[in-house]
Amino acid sequence: MNFFKDILRGAMIGVANIIPGVSGGTMMVSMGVYDKIIWAINHIFKEFKSSVKTLLPYGIGMLASIAGLSFCITYFFERFPLPTAFLFIGLIFGGLPVIFGGLKGKKANAGAVLLFVVFFALVILLQIFGGDRGVERELVVNAGEMGILLIMGVITSATMIIPGVSGSMVLMALGYYTPIIAQIRLFIESLTAFDIDGLLKGFAILIPFGIGVLAGILLVARLIEFLLKRYPLYTYSGILGLVIASPVAVLMGIGVGAVSVSAVIVSVFTFAIGFVAAFFLSK
C-alpha cells in the first residue's frame, strides 16, 4: 500500500516538474516526502539499498507521469486553465500542515520572517521576469550541444528540487523547454516504432541532459540537508515563503483572462480534490 502511494506521490511530483510555473520541490513538500527524498539522495552511496528502496517508487511514478501524463496535463492547462491550476493549488495547500509541523515548537524571530518575505518575493519575481518564452533552441547532436545540455540539466534539476522554483520555467526562459519536451515525445514514439535513428538521436540528447539532472540533484540535496540540520527554523521559513507564493505564481503563469461562472464552480471542486489528495498522500 505504501509503495503504491509513493508511486502516486512520484507521479504528482513528475507532472509538477514538467509544467512551467509549478514546482516539483513544492509538490514534494505538499506530499510530505521532501525530507525523506533529500535524505535518500544524499545517502545513495553510503546506504545504497535503503536509499534505492526509498527512491524507487517515486522514480517510477515520476517517469510514468512525464512519459504519459504530460500530454494530458498540457492539454488541460490549455483548454481548462483555471480548474487545472486550482487542482495544483489544492495540492499545494493540502500539504501546508507538513511544513507547519516542521516549524512546530520553534519560536519565530525577525530573521525567519525576513526570509519568508524574501523567498515569497523571489518566486513572484521569477514568474514576472522569467515566465516568457526565450528564443527556442534547435537541438543538434554535437559535442558543444551535448555540453550545453549537461549544463541545462544541472540548472534545471537544481531549481526543480527547491520548493517554489519551477525548473520548467527556467528551461523555458533559456529556450530549451519546448525542444526537450518534444525530444522526449519523439524518443517515446521512436521506441514504440523501433526507429533506431530516432532512438540514437534521443539517447545523444537526453543522456547528457539526464546526467546533468542527476548531478544537480545530488549537489543541491546536500546543501538543503545541511541547512535543515543546522538552521531548521530559517530553512522551513524560507520553504514556507516559497510554497505560499507558488499558488500566486501558478495563476500568474496561466494568464487567466475572462472567467466564467462554470469555470469557478469546477475550480472549487478541483481545488477540493487536490487538497484532499495532498492531505491523504502526506500522511
Least confident of 71-80, 88-97, 108-117, 159-168: 159-168
Does residue 75 carry a pLDDT above 80? no
Question: What is the rounded CA–CA span in Å between residue 283 and residue 277?
Answer: 10
Measured in Å, how far apart are the chain's first and last C-alpha atoms?
A: 12
Three-state DSSP class for 80?
coil
Question: What is the rounded CA–CA span in Å between residue 127 and residue 137?
Answer: 21
Each residue's pLDDT tens digit, 202-254: 788 888 888 888 888 888 888 877 887 888 788 878 877 877 777 777 777 66
**DSSP, residue by residue, 114-164:** HHHHHHHHHHHHHHHHH-S--PPPPP--SHHHHHHHHHHHHHHHHHHTSTT
Does residue 83 carry a pLDDT above 60? yes
Q: Do 154 and 276 touch, CB atoms closer than 8 A?
A: no
Bin 104: left if φ > 0, else alpha if -120 < ψ < 50, else beta: beta
Residues counted in the chain: 283
Question: What is the rounded CA–CA span in Å between residue 213 and residue 17?
Answer: 12
Q: Do 240 and 92 touch, CB atoms closer than 8 A?
A: no
Question: What is the rounded CA–CA span in Å between residue 159 and residue 17?
Answer: 10
Q: Mean pLDDT for the chain?
A: 77
Does residue 256 carry a pLDDT above 60? no
Who wins on pLDDT, 50 or 174? 50
Confidence at residue 26, expressed as pLDDT on a 0 to 100 scale: 73
Question: What does the pLDDT average to over 109-128?
Answer: 81
Q: At what angle do helices 2-18 and 167-174 cross, to 10 degrees?
A: 30
Question: What is the rounded CA–CA span in Å between residue 144 and residue 127?
Answer: 30
42 contact partners, CB below 8 Å, separation of at least 6: 218, 221, 222, 225
User: What is the residue whose three cell numbers read 475572462?
Assistant: 258
DSSP secondary-structure letter at 19? S
Who wins on pLDDT, 202 or 99? 202
Confidence at residue 275, expressed as pLDDT on a 0 to 100 scale: 84
Confidence at residue 226, expressed as pLDDT on a 0 to 100 scale: 84
Each residue's pLDDT tens digit, 130-189: 554 444 566 777 777 778 888 888 877 766 677 656 666 667 666 677 788 777 878 888
